Amino acid sequence: MQTISKQQARLFILSKQGLIGGYRFVGKEGAYNFVRQAGCIQYDPVDVCGKNAELTLQSRVKGFRKNMLHDLLYKDRLLVDYADKELSIWPTEDWPYFSSYRERSLELGKTFEGLEELKDKAIAYIDENGPVSSDSLPIEGEIFWHSSMHWSGNWDKKSAAARSVLEQLYTDGELIIHHKKGSRKFYDLAGKYLPESLLKAENPCKDEESFLCWRVLRRIGAVGILWDKNSTAFLDNMK
């Protein structure tokens, strides 16, 4: 076993993150490469002096501009908005690894009476009309959600049917976020933007244990070094 000092660990982590020395990440390609190295960066819509993802990249990527992240997400489609630790931004190439998330979402969605019919209606409308938000999808009514849905904690609530069916299709992997206007999300069919070879790719993780191992290694690689104790870096790894 190799031992290093706290100072060596600090310097290694700062270097890994691109926060000391010369810039290791430059321009739009650098922004993409940093996200690939980190695995994911958390999305947070709160904007005081910039959104979390933008500030993360600005501090590490030389010449970073907001439009670079926008293009990587919504034009190049090299990055995607989806859940990981929280709602996050991660490389689209990792889509197959999250198959178990989508499978779980599909199974839980079947427990809500009438939801499957609403999903079919929403898909048909989006296929014909293009990207929609919850305000523009012509589905009325409410749906009652239980705490067992998705990975959002313990709660029971009603929500507008249009919003609920869009979020369900999004977690199912049928929809992706086409673009955002402020904090409002517009959804479109994933098949229009992601290659079929990726959407139908086999899950590289054969079981939950191998998926957990992949995520743990991914988190360690994101930071650079993590100790073998409880840490928020591993939040949600056990779900």
**pTM of structure:** 0.85
* pLDDT, tens digit, 9 for 90 and up, residues 26-78: 999 999 999 999 999 988 877 888 888 999 999 999 999 999 999 999 999 99
In this predicted structure, the answer to whether residue 192 has a pLDDT above a threshold of 70 is: yes
Q: Give the whole-angstrom CA distance, residue 10 versus residue 76.
A: 35
**Which residues have C-beta within 8 Å of that of residue 156, sequence separation ≥ 6?**
144, 145, 146, 147
Kindly list the distances between the CA atom of residue 137 and the CA atoms of 99, 127, 140, 141, 222, in Å, as whole numbers in the listed order.
Answer: 27, 12, 9, 12, 38
Q: Name the DSSP class of 95.
A: G
